Amino acid sequence: MDFSLLIPILVEWWPFLLMIVIFWVVGEQVKKNAPGPNVSKFWNIYHRTLTLHPIISGVLLGLIPGIPLPVAVAAIGDLAGALFYGGSGAMSVISYDIFKTWIKHKIKSIDKE
């Protein structure tokens, strides 16, 4: 497999990939340290909407002027950054769920051996 074809893509899209990892790490820490859903109505709503938090955070982050964007995305317009970083938030949720499922599957297969 020739990975040299991936290098231009990774160089151009590093903010997207970096934000996926940052949303993973921050989300795990916040989820661990947040009070339980039975503490108050706010925390109940907070826990019910956890999957939306990285998406909303990404959209808000993308609205910051001067934030790094790939050239193709920046050429689209002002709100392209919000969609770009909102998409990285959505991808962080999807990729985290896939990763968790894969790890659980691997642990079960190790236990069977």
Write down the domain spans for the chain. Answer: 14-103
pLDDT of 87 over the 90 cut? yes
Tell me the two tokens of residue 18.
Answer: 């970096």
Q: How would you class 57 by CB atoms within 10 Å of its CB: exposed for 0-12, middle for 13-18, buried for 19 or more?
A: buried
pLDDT digits (tens, 9 = 90+) for 46-60: 888 888 999 999 999
Q: How far apart are CA 81 and CA 83, in angstroms?
A: 5
Task: Yes or no: say if 57 and 68 are a contact pair by the CB < 8 Å rule.
Answer: no
pLDDT band at 1 (very low <50, low <70, confident <90, very high): low
